[in-house]
Amino acid sequence: MKYFTICLSLFLLFSCGTSKKIVSKPVVFDDQRKQLTLEYLDNRYGLKQESPTITPKMIVLHWTAIPTFEKTFEAFNSSTIPNQRPDIKSVSGLNVSSQFVVDQDGTIYGLMPETTMARHVIGLNYCAIGVENVGGTKDLPLTKRQKKANIWLVKYLAKKYDIEYLIGHYEYTNFEGTDLWLEKDSNYRTEKTDPGEDFMKAVKKGVKGLHLKYAPKKSSI
């Protein structure tokens, strides 16, 4: 836990102005979570690693459908996935999470080091940085402040890493059949609509100058 907290702090300290933009709020990353992450990398992707690190190639935007940051953090904080998620618990006991969460007011929270694997997108976790946005329901839609924060965060990450793709969670299955897709189980899929097409269009417009690639067209295979 201390190692990951230190890593995150260093990321924030040495990134131009980032300490004022990202609030460090690390989830538990104990030996159990580390082991479950390593097992996930091995079992799902065939990647045998000594550390649960990733080489970021894409950024995936999400919504939580959870009304507050506090409840979102509570959902991600445990190392193991709760019983109310049987659809994905049967695949792995590793809890879902993301490297970042953006609150309704635009505050960006850093939950994990950017190059540590988080479970947030099937088939692509090994190369994807996840950004969760609090809300996304009819009663609590995503906000303009969240849009601006996502644009800032994508620009920040694109400056640090060799980011090729920016996608919404609902687009993840478009990568099936590409070199990036590593999920072994052809039956392990979930249907997603987050973070919404309008939100994605707005963020993509805001980072147009980065010339990032978007999700490929859905494979017919």
For residue range 24-83, list pLDDT tens digits in order. Answer: 999 999 999 999 999 999 999 999 999 999 999 999 999 999 999 999 999 999 999 987
Q: Which domains does the chain have, with CATH numbers?
A: 2-210 (3.40.80.10)
98, 76 Cβ separation under 8 angstroms: yes
Point out the least confidently predicted range of 10-24, 83-97, 125-139, 206-220. Answer: 10-24
Residue 20 CA to residue 119 CA, distance in Å, equals 27
Point out the least confidently predicted range of 15-19, 96-100, 182-186. Answer: 15-19
Tokens representing residue 154 in the block: 């994508």
28, 56 Cβ separation under 8 angstroms: no
Q: What is the mean pLDDT of the chain?
A: 91
Residue labelled with tokens 């007011």: 105
Beta-carbon contacts of 18 under 8 Å, excluding residues fewer than 6 positions away, are: 11, 12, 156
166, 154 Cβ separation under 8 angstroms: yes
Residue labelled with tokens 């409840």: 71
Write out pLDDT tens, residues 136-184: 999 999 999 999 999 999 999 999 999 999 999 999 999 999 999 999 9
User: What is the per-residue pLDDT for 90?
Assistant: 76
pTM of the model: 0.89
117, 37 Cβ separation under 8 angstroms: yes
Residue 171 CA to residue 93 CA, distance in Å, equals 24
